[in-house]
Amino acid sequence: MSNENPMLEVKNLSKSFGTIKALDNVSFTLPRGKVFGIVGDNNAGRTTLLSILNGALQPDSGEFYLDGQKADFKNPSDAYDSGVAMVHQFVKLVDIASIWENFYLGRELTRKSGPITLLDLKKMRETTQKTISGYGHKFDVDREVRQLSGGQRQIVAVTRAIDTNPKLLLLDEPYHGLSQRVINDIFAILKDARESRGTSIIITTQWFEQIKDFVDEVMVMRRGRIVGHFDVEAADSGHIFKLAMGLAG
Protein backbone atom coordinates (compact mmCIF):
# COMPACT_ATOMS: atom_id res chain seq x y z
CA MET A 1 0.00 0.00 0.00
CA SER A 2 1.28 3.48 -0.89
CA ASN A 3 2.24 5.84 1.91
CA GLU A 4 1.52 8.81 -0.32
CA ASN A 5 -0.65 11.50 1.25
CA PRO A 6 -4.18 11.81 -0.17
CA MET A 7 -4.80 14.93 -2.23
CA LEU A 8 -7.49 15.99 0.21
CA GLU A 9 -8.24 14.95 3.79
CA VAL A 10 -11.29 16.44 5.50
CA LYS A 11 -11.63 16.08 9.27
CA ASN A 12 -14.82 16.83 11.20
CA LEU A 13 -15.95 19.92 9.30
CA SER A 14 -19.04 21.62 10.74
CA LYS A 15 -20.81 24.82 9.71
CA SER A 16 -24.02 26.45 10.93
CA PHE A 17 -26.04 29.39 9.66
CA GLY A 18 -28.04 30.52 12.68
CA THR A 19 -29.98 27.49 13.88
CA ILE A 20 -29.42 25.58 10.63
CA LYS A 21 -26.66 22.98 10.72
CA ALA A 22 -25.36 23.07 7.14
CA LEU A 23 -22.45 20.67 7.82
CA ASP A 24 -22.28 18.27 10.73
CA ASN A 25 -18.93 16.60 11.45
CA VAL A 26 -18.05 15.75 7.84
CA SER A 27 -14.91 13.66 7.26
CA PHE A 28 -13.49 11.92 4.17
CA THR A 29 -10.34 11.53 2.08
CA LEU A 30 -9.80 11.97 -1.65
CA PRO A 31 -6.82 10.19 -3.26
CA ARG A 32 -4.90 12.13 -5.88
CA GLY A 33 -6.10 11.66 -9.44
CA LYS A 34 -9.49 10.31 -8.35
CA VAL A 35 -13.00 11.61 -9.00
CA PHE A 36 -15.34 11.89 -6.05
CA GLY A 37 -19.10 12.41 -6.42
CA ILE A 38 -21.29 13.98 -3.75
CA VAL A 39 -24.99 13.21 -4.03
CA GLY A 40 -27.68 14.96 -2.04
CA ASP A 41 -30.96 16.82 -2.22
CA ASN A 42 -31.32 20.56 -1.68
CA ASN A 43 -29.95 21.64 1.72
CA ALA A 44 -27.80 18.51 1.94
CA GLY A 45 -24.68 20.63 2.51
CA ARG A 46 -22.95 19.97 -0.81
CA THR A 47 -22.41 23.59 -1.80
CA THR A 48 -21.44 24.60 1.74
CA LEU A 49 -18.77 21.91 1.78
CA LEU A 50 -17.29 23.00 -1.56
CA SER A 51 -17.42 26.65 -0.51
CA ILE A 52 -15.31 25.85 2.56
CA LEU A 53 -12.82 23.89 0.48
CA ASN A 54 -12.71 26.87 -1.89
CA GLY A 55 -12.13 29.41 0.90
CA ALA A 56 -15.42 31.24 0.29
CA LEU A 57 -16.73 30.13 3.71
CA GLN A 58 -14.96 29.41 6.97
CA PRO A 59 -15.89 26.31 9.02
CA ASP A 60 -17.09 26.63 12.60
CA SER A 61 -14.96 23.63 13.50
CA GLY A 62 -12.86 20.95 11.88
CA GLU A 63 -10.02 21.20 9.40
CA PHE A 64 -8.80 19.89 6.07
CA TYR A 65 -5.46 19.10 4.49
CA LEU A 66 -4.44 19.62 0.87
CA ASP A 67 -1.54 17.53 -0.36
CA GLY A 68 -0.62 16.75 3.25
CA GLN A 69 -0.57 20.40 4.34
CA LYS A 70 -3.19 21.94 6.60
CA ALA A 71 -5.27 24.44 4.63
CA ASP A 72 -6.17 27.80 6.11
CA PHE A 73 -7.92 29.57 3.24
CA LYS A 74 -9.30 33.01 4.09
CA ASN A 75 -10.79 33.50 0.63
CA PRO A 76 -10.91 31.87 -2.84
CA SER A 77 -7.66 33.60 -3.81
CA ASP A 78 -5.85 31.68 -1.08
CA ALA A 79 -7.37 28.45 -2.39
CA TYR A 80 -6.41 29.31 -5.97
CA ASP A 81 -2.82 30.00 -4.92
CA SER A 82 -2.75 26.55 -3.30
CA GLY A 83 -4.06 24.78 -6.41
CA VAL A 84 -7.82 24.68 -5.84
CA ALA A 85 -10.22 25.78 -8.59
CA MET A 86 -14.03 25.81 -8.50
CA VAL A 87 -16.77 25.88 -11.11
CA HIS A 88 -20.14 27.02 -9.77
CA GLN A 89 -23.62 25.86 -10.72
CA PHE A 90 -24.49 29.39 -11.72
CA VAL A 91 -21.53 30.39 -13.85
CA LYS A 92 -19.53 33.31 -12.50
CA LEU A 93 -18.39 35.08 -15.65
CA VAL A 94 -18.37 38.78 -16.55
CA ASP A 95 -21.10 39.18 -19.18
CA ILE A 96 -19.76 42.36 -20.80
CA ALA A 97 -16.19 41.05 -21.08
CA SER A 98 -14.93 38.88 -23.94
CA ILE A 99 -14.30 35.16 -23.66
CA TRP A 100 -10.53 35.64 -23.56
CA GLU A 101 -10.82 38.39 -20.93
CA ASN A 102 -12.90 36.07 -18.75
CA PHE A 103 -10.47 33.23 -19.38
CA TYR A 104 -7.56 35.21 -17.91
CA LEU A 105 -9.48 37.30 -15.40
CA GLY A 106 -7.30 37.67 -12.31
CA ARG A 107 -4.32 35.91 -13.89
CA GLU A 108 -3.51 38.15 -16.82
CA LEU A 109 -0.39 37.48 -18.91
CA THR A 110 2.14 40.30 -19.28
CA ARG A 111 5.15 41.14 -21.41
CA LYS A 112 8.01 43.58 -21.10
CA SER A 113 8.48 46.55 -23.42
CA GLY A 114 11.69 48.08 -22.20
CA PRO A 115 11.12 49.08 -18.58
CA ILE A 116 7.32 48.92 -18.99
CA THR A 117 5.16 45.90 -18.22
CA LEU A 118 2.19 45.54 -20.58
CA LEU A 119 -0.70 43.10 -20.83
CA ASP A 120 0.06 40.48 -23.48
CA LEU A 121 -3.30 40.73 -25.23
CA LYS A 122 -2.19 38.77 -28.30
CA LYS A 123 -0.94 35.81 -26.29
CA MET A 124 -4.05 35.71 -24.11
CA ARG A 125 -6.33 35.71 -27.16
CA GLU A 126 -4.28 33.04 -28.95
CA THR A 127 -3.91 30.81 -25.89
CA THR A 128 -7.62 31.01 -25.08
CA GLN A 129 -8.51 30.06 -28.67
CA LYS A 130 -6.01 27.19 -28.68
CA THR A 131 -7.16 25.83 -25.32
CA ILE A 132 -10.88 25.87 -26.13
CA SER A 133 -10.27 24.50 -29.64
CA GLY A 134 -8.22 21.70 -28.10
CA TYR A 135 -11.42 20.45 -26.48
CA GLY A 136 -13.28 20.49 -29.80
CA HIS A 137 -15.03 23.86 -29.48
CA LYS A 138 -14.63 26.74 -31.88
CA PHE A 139 -15.64 30.01 -30.23
CA ASP A 140 -14.76 33.49 -31.40
CA VAL A 141 -12.88 34.47 -28.25
CA ASP A 142 -13.53 38.17 -28.88
CA ARG A 143 -17.27 37.63 -28.38
CA GLU A 144 -18.76 38.97 -25.17
CA VAL A 145 -19.86 36.25 -22.75
CA ARG A 146 -23.42 37.59 -22.72
CA GLN A 147 -23.72 36.39 -26.34
CA LEU A 148 -23.06 32.76 -25.38
CA SER A 149 -25.57 30.03 -24.66
CA GLY A 150 -25.70 28.46 -21.21
CA GLY A 151 -23.76 25.46 -22.45
CA GLN A 152 -21.08 27.59 -24.08
CA ARG A 153 -20.69 29.63 -20.90
CA GLN A 154 -20.19 26.49 -18.86
CA ILE A 155 -17.63 25.14 -21.35
CA VAL A 156 -15.69 28.39 -20.95
CA ALA A 157 -15.91 28.16 -17.14
CA VAL A 158 -14.74 24.54 -17.02
CA THR A 159 -11.87 24.98 -19.48
CA ARG A 160 -10.78 28.15 -17.68
CA ALA A 161 -10.64 26.30 -14.36
CA ILE A 162 -8.69 23.40 -15.85
CA ASP A 163 -6.26 25.78 -17.57
CA THR A 164 -5.10 26.97 -14.12
CA ASN A 165 -3.75 23.41 -13.70
CA PRO A 166 -5.34 22.84 -10.27
CA LYS A 167 -4.45 20.02 -7.93
CA LEU A 168 -8.10 19.91 -6.87
CA LEU A 169 -11.05 20.86 -9.08
CA LEU A 170 -14.43 21.46 -7.41
CA LEU A 171 -17.59 21.42 -9.51
CA ASP A 172 -20.98 22.34 -8.05
CA GLU A 173 -23.53 20.82 -10.46
CA PRO A 174 -21.74 22.20 -13.54
CA TYR A 175 -24.31 20.64 -15.89
CA HIS A 176 -27.46 22.10 -14.26
CA GLY A 177 -30.04 22.92 -16.95
CA LEU A 178 -27.79 21.87 -19.84
CA SER A 179 -28.44 19.49 -22.71
CA GLN A 180 -27.07 15.95 -22.62
CA ARG A 181 -24.71 16.82 -25.47
CA VAL A 182 -23.13 19.64 -23.47
CA ILE A 183 -23.00 17.45 -20.35
CA ASN A 184 -21.10 14.84 -22.37
CA ASP A 185 -18.72 17.57 -23.59
CA ILE A 186 -18.05 18.69 -20.02
CA PHE A 187 -17.35 15.16 -18.83
CA ALA A 188 -14.98 14.62 -21.77
CA ILE A 189 -13.05 17.76 -20.76
CA LEU A 190 -12.90 16.63 -17.14
CA LYS A 191 -11.79 13.12 -18.12
CA ASP A 192 -8.93 14.60 -20.10
CA ALA A 193 -7.86 16.73 -17.13
CA ARG A 194 -7.90 13.73 -14.86
CA GLU A 195 -5.97 11.48 -17.23
CA SER A 196 -3.46 13.98 -18.62
CA ARG A 197 -2.86 16.13 -15.52
CA GLY A 198 -3.75 13.83 -12.63
CA THR A 199 -6.29 16.35 -11.34
CA SER A 200 -8.36 15.27 -8.33
CA ILE A 201 -12.02 16.17 -8.83
CA ILE A 202 -15.09 16.58 -6.63
CA ILE A 203 -18.42 16.93 -8.41
CA THR A 204 -21.86 17.40 -6.82
CA THR A 205 -25.26 16.33 -8.06
CA GLN A 206 -28.79 15.57 -6.96
CA TRP A 207 -28.91 12.48 -9.16
CA PHE A 208 -26.32 9.71 -9.02
CA GLU A 209 -27.25 8.56 -12.53
CA GLN A 210 -25.71 11.76 -13.94
CA ILE A 211 -22.23 10.97 -12.63
CA LYS A 212 -22.06 7.21 -12.10
CA ASP A 213 -20.00 6.58 -15.25
CA PHE A 214 -17.46 9.25 -14.31
CA VAL A 215 -16.72 8.98 -10.59
CA ASP A 216 -14.60 6.51 -8.59
CA GLU A 217 -16.39 6.99 -5.28
CA VAL A 218 -19.71 8.48 -4.23
CA MET A 219 -20.64 10.07 -0.91
CA VAL A 220 -24.28 10.66 -0.01
CA MET A 221 -25.22 13.65 2.14
CA ARG A 222 -28.44 14.60 3.87
CA ARG A 223 -29.00 17.65 6.06
CA GLY A 224 -25.30 18.28 6.47
CA ARG A 225 -24.28 14.76 7.38
CA ILE A 226 -22.69 11.88 5.48
CA VAL A 227 -25.22 9.06 5.28
CA GLY A 228 -23.40 6.79 2.82
CA HIS A 229 -20.02 6.34 1.14
CA PHE A 230 -19.37 3.77 -1.61
CA ASP A 231 -16.94 2.71 -4.31
CA VAL A 232 -18.85 3.31 -7.52
CA GLU A 233 -18.80 -0.41 -8.41
CA ALA A 234 -20.70 -1.16 -5.20
CA ALA A 235 -23.10 1.78 -5.48
CA ASP A 236 -26.77 1.08 -6.10
CA SER A 237 -28.77 3.94 -7.60
CA GLY A 238 -31.98 3.05 -5.78
CA HIS A 239 -30.29 2.80 -2.41
CA ILE A 240 -28.44 6.08 -2.94
CA PHE A 241 -31.70 7.80 -3.81
CA LYS A 242 -33.33 6.48 -0.64
CA LEU A 243 -30.38 7.58 1.48
CA ALA A 244 -30.47 11.08 -0.02
CA MET A 245 -34.22 11.34 0.59
CA GLY A 246 -34.06 9.96 4.14
CA LEU A 247 -35.94 6.81 3.16
CA ALA A 248 -33.20 4.38 4.17
CA GLY A 249 -30.85 4.03 7.09
Mean per-residue pLDDT for 209-223? 91
Does 106 fall in a domain?
no
Distance, CA of 86 to CA of 201 (rounded, Å): 10
Q: Collect contacts of 132-135 with beta carbons under 8 A, ≥24 apart.
A: 132/99, 132/156, 132/159, 135/159, 135/185, 135/188, 135/189, 135/192
166 contacts: CB under 8 Å, gap ≥ 6: 83, 84, 85, 199
The pLDDT of residue 2 is above 60: no
Does 127 fall in a domain?
no
Question: How many domains does the structure of the chain reveal?
Answer: 1
Does 108 fall in a domain?
no
Q: Containing domain of residue 41, as a range?
A: 8-94+148-245
Chain mean pLDDT for the chain: 89
Does 109 fall in a domain?
no
187 contacts: CB under 8 Å, gap ≥ 6: 214
The pLDDT of residue 240 is above 50: yes
Q: Give 5's DSSP letter.
A: P
| Angle of helix 150-163 versus helix 180-197 axis, rounded to 10 | 10
Predicted model pTM:
0.87
Dihedral sign for Cα atoms in the order 68, 84, 106, 192: positive
Does 129 fall in a domain?
no
Q: What is the CATH classification number for the domain harbouring 24?
A: 3.40.50.300
Beta bridge partners of 17: 20
Does 136 fall in a domain?
no
Does 191 fall in a domain?
yes
Of the pLDDT bands very low, low, confident and very high (cuts 50, 70, 90), residue 13 is very high
Does 165 fall in a domain?
yes
Beta bridge partners of 26: 13
Mean per-residue pLDDT for 102-116? 85
